[in-house]
Amino acid sequence: MKKIAIISLVSTLLIGFQLTAQQESPLIEKQNMTLTSDLMTPEVLWSFGRVSDPQASPDGKTILFGVSYYSIEQNKGNRELYTVHVAGGEPNRLTKTAKSEYNAIWRPDGKKIGFLTSESGSVQLWEMNPDGSDKKQISAIEGGITGFKYAPDQTKVLFTKEVVLENKFASLYKDLPLATGRLMNDLMYRHWDEWVDTYSHVFIAEYDGHALSNEMDIMEGQPYQSPLKPFGGIEQIAWTPDSKAVAYTCKKLSGKKASLSTNSDIYLFDLGSKFTTNLTQGMMGFDVAPSFSPDGNYMAWESMERDGYESDKNRLFLLDLKTGKKTDATEKFDQNVGDITWTPDSKNIFFMSDWHGSFQIYQFNLPKVTIDQVTKGVQDYHAITQAGKLLVTTKQTMSFPTELFTIDPKTGTSTQLTFTNKELTAQLAMGKTEERWIKTFDGEDMQVFVIYPPHFDPKKKYPAILYCKGGPQGPLSHDFHYRWNYQIMAANGYIIVAPARRGVSGFGQAWQEQISGDYHGKSMQDYLTAIDELSKEPFVDSERLGAIGASAGGYAVYYLAGHHDGRFKAFIAHDGIFNEEAQYLETEEMWFENWDKGGPYWDKKNKIAQEAYAHSPHKFVDKWDTPILIIHGEKDYRVVFTQGMTAFNAAILRDVQAEFLYFPDENHWVLKPQNGILWQRTFFQWLDRWLK
């Protein structure tokens, strides 16, 4: 299911796993590997170093970043910190421990680097010199902290930590210490992959350059989250340039109301008066990620307009702090906005946006009120930070894992800064990625990515896989994914067909919105059109086609299983929606179901909803006749694991060849290395069985 900031989500989940799994364990580092084949394998995929979170030093000369490596044997990962000069050169390793370091940032004076680690038994704030020496623990917060930011004047630090939710029924448990039952009387009692026993709050502490003291919960007594789980991080909280106030993102709703609404706001807490002001009062959609101009005159943030619609256009909004005027800077810009970054002179804002299958950097000029595209090309850029006259960002493609690049904002020219995986990628043959545009059944132009096997021979015939994107909204771009990786699929001898069907972002809001209330209609026709068109190629064996997908892509697989007219010989559905009526009552974010399905299935007068539920995949099991592999994690609370279990049971009862790969400890993703490799092995064993 789609959310706003998928990249930060996966990073957060991986870090959380690392911290809990690595109390006393051997150091996990980059391994020098000599491959016996030039084809990608699951083991090779898990050997890549994962580069993330570049942070420019205050003088703009040095970039701080992290790299995560994973041990298959230990079944966990570890993240270390590095710096590299913005002009290039060999990175300098700052940490070398068996416990991950993350949320690493420069102190405003540039003399220290602050970071979080669990070295002391709980996650605390540590500092070190820019060369990695003199590491010292700065905080000793009970229960640990989850994120932090220095005040610009360095006199304070804001941090986030989990606060235990009050048990409304505590009197019933007072003499029952071994009782495991959970009693609840409202919704949102669990979310994504955790039971809601705590909520994150924002705290402010005094900082003397050596330690934190006098911590204050600026949300004391409020049963609300900041930042917003599970995707929000410390980027949803910001200091004002004068260090006198803190802006934080929060949805001040609970229970059923929180489940039905996406209405988050940005609140400003004044340290002097202790007074809190809602800066986005009356704006009813997601309002997140405040960012103040260096001169203190403006606040920029990401804003969605409509309550209940999590895939609404993500706009760049500006608040004039002197006049109170709010401006939609992207009113005429039919694209989404993310990763807002101010220039030092407060005259420009850089941001990311996806368009036609790639994420590019754009620039909004405040005086001219114009938006210009800075970068072009076939890639995904993310995570902008300004380093002097240059931008530093991460870059990836379908065949290139993330590395750091500098960007000249005047020309858009990029220069590679880190080469973390150079030795490994040099040994691998990557398949060609091709962009095609085809006509849909109703005459629209649709982008389709085709990924060919390495050493492709056009004289041969290859089996092909239709990739059904999840979401259902959101980008289908040049992501180097560590599970749904196009190159590893191609390396196993398959041609991959990935259509940007109705619902995909980056083609205007109208294209994206066509899937809401219509999962079964135009998007399904788009899938079939894409695979039919590619099947006409002489190198595609139309008798050996498969369809795969996760989440809403899993829905697509289940639906196509009953509507494919014999096209496919194998299906794979991961964490997919099988029974829409059950999904409506099993999931936790009710706003999603109400918007995308039109409402509850019992509303007989609601034609949109009734049409959606009438096409629930489970109602077409009588037409299933094709082998299907089903995968699901028990900790997935967005699409509950019983969706996969019932689909598997239905297949077996129908005498359809089926397998069910069940993970008791995974959520909507598969994050543990050994589980990830088991996933890949099962995935390809199934495809090879039926398509080769």
Q: In the prediction, which pLDDT does 361 show?
A: 98
Give the least confident one: 95-99, 245-249, 645-649.
95-99
pLDDT at residue 33 in the model: 83
678: confidence class by pLDDT, cuts 50, 70, 90: very high
Mean per-residue pLDDT for 599-607? 96
What is the structure's pLDDT at 464? 98
666: tokens are: 């995974």
- Provide the pLDDT confidence category of residue 23 given band limits of 50, 70 and 90: very low
3-state secondary structure of 612: helix
Residue 349, beta-bridge partner list: 342, 364
- The stretch 507-535 carries a mean pLDDT of 97
What's the whole-number mean pLDDT along residues 468-485?
Answer: 96
**Domain regions of the chain by residue span:** 1-30+42-138, 139-169+180-328, 431-691
Q: What is the pLDDT of residue 9?
A: 36
pLDDT in tens, 385-398: 999 999 999 999 99
CA distance 645 to 632: 8
The single-letter DSSP state of residue 38 is S
For residue 19, pLDDT over 60 is answered with no
Residue 3 has pLDDT above 60, yes or no: no
Residue 16: pLDDT above 80?
no
Residue 289, phi-psi category: left (phi > 0), alpha (psi -120 to 50), beta (remainder): left
Residue 378 structure tokens: 């076939």
At 26-55, the pLDDT tens digits run 888 888 888 999 999 999 999 999 999 999
Q: What's the average model confidence in pLDDT over 526-533?
A: 98
> Amino acid identity of 100?
S
Q: Does the domain made of 431-691 have the CATH classification 3.40.50.300?
A: no
Contact 230, 669 (CB under 8 A): no
Using 50, 70 and 90 to split pLDDT, how confident is the model at 637? Answer: very high
In this model, does residue 25 exceed pLDDT 90?
A: no
Q: What is the pLDDT of residue 17?
A: 39
pLDDT digits (tens, 9 = 90+) for 353-388: 999 999 999 999 999 999 999 999 999 999 999 999
pLDDT range class, residue 566, cuts 50, 70, 90: very high
pLDDT of residue 4: 36
Catalytic residues: 551, 636, 668
**Interval 471-475 mean pLDDT:** 96
Instruction: Give the confidence band of 10 by pLDDT, cuts at 50, 70, 90.
Output: very low
Per-residue CA distances from 106 to 64, 78, 244, 279, 406 (Å): 8, 21, 20, 28, 19
Rounded CA gap, 602 and 684, in Å?
Answer: 40
Helix, strand or coil, per DSSP, at residue 537: coil
CA distance 539 to 456: 10
Q: 24 falls in which pLDDT band (50, 70, 90)?
A: low
* Residue 680 binned pLDDT confidence (cut-offs 50, 70, 90): very high
Give the up-direction half-sphere exposure of residue 499: CA atoms within 13 A in the CB hemisphere.
30
Beta strands in 422-494 (DSSP E): 433-439, 445-451, 462-468
Average pLDDT over residues 215-226: 96
Token pair listed for 229 = 């789980």
Q: Do 1-30+42-138 and 139-169+180-328 come out as alike in CATH topology?
A: yes
Residue 513: CB atoms within 10 Å:
17
Q: Structurally, what CATH architecture does the domain formed by 139-169+180-328 represent?
A: 6 Propeller (2.120)
- 634 burial level (CB within 10 Å; 0-12, 13-18, 19+): middle
CATH architecture of the domain formed by 1-30+42-138:
6 Propeller (2.120)
In angstroms, the CA 256 to CA 258 distance is 5
Average pLDDT, whole number, for the chain? 95
Query: Rounded to the nearest 10 degrees, what angle do helices 607-614 and 590-597 cross at?
Result: 100
User: In this prediction, what percent of the chain has a pLDDT beyond 70?
Assistant: 96
The answer on pLDDT for 580 being more than 50 is yes
309-331 confidence digits (pLDDT tens): 999 999 999 999 999 999 999 99
